[in-house]
Amino acid sequence: MKYEIVYFDLDNTLLDFSRSEKEALYNTFRDHGIFLTQEQITLYTQINKKWWLAFSQGKYDKEYIVFARFEEFLDNINVKSLDAKRIAQRYLETLSHLAYFLPGAEDLLEKLKKRKQRMAVLTNGVKTVQESRSKLLRLDRFFEFILTSEEVGKPKPDPTLFFKAQEISGVPLSRSVYIGDDPQTDSLAAKNAGVDFILFDYTGTGNDSQKTARTFEQLYSMLLM
């Protein structure tokens, strides 16, 4: 294999977070008698992305953004009867039980495992949620460890997550690669850490300014070369 260890982002790289997010959001509000429209769900995802970007920029801590996003969302849809912190907690609990591989992701991991490729996960996601979803999909079949930014105290694009991964794996970052779906946060994190980066752009919405794989088959080939 080209690299001694492959580090993956998790959400929307290997796992269909968009599906889990939509289902968790709809179910959470449904349980409170509110049936969200697709337009409202889209609004939430936009608000959520904004708050996670602020988190990655170090403007707010994770504990704050997980409920601040719901404060803004509830205000935007003019719902005054629900408490943002309670909704945020219920949403995370619901999300923790929803995990789906992107089509082809599990096959990719199986093929890499057969080639004895070392693999691990580096993610900015909420630790308790990622641990629960990882257990549902039995990701320990493939990965030596799953490391979250919470455990190192700084989110991507800060390189601390990568330095800790290097310490755990014992593999120099120069012999590693990071694969993620975010052309900004993931790419910059890899650059800051001095590790090779492959953008996984299965939606085809990115550009070709970075080394990019649009399918898992293409990604597999790139990891072999």
- Is the domain of 115 the same as that of 34? no
Residue 208: the pLDDT is 65
Cβ neighbours of 30 (radius 10 Å): 11
- Is the domain of 41 the same as that of 107? no
- Is the domain of 88 the same as that of 105? no
- Is the domain of 87 the same as that of 180? no
- Is the domain of 37 the same as that of 84? yes
Q: What is the number of structural domains in the chain?
A: 2
- Is the domain of 90 the same as that of 124? no
- Where a domain ends, among 29, 63, 95? 95
Q: For each of the chain's 225 residues, which pLDDT tens digit applies?
A: 899 999 999 999 999 999 999 999 999 999 999 999 999 999 999 999 999 999 989 899 999 999 999 999 999 999 999 999 999 999 999 999 999 999 999 999 999 999 999 999 999 988 999 999 999 999 999 999 999 999 999 999 999 999 999 999 999 999 999 999 999 899 999 999 999 999 999 988 766 668 999 999 999 999 998
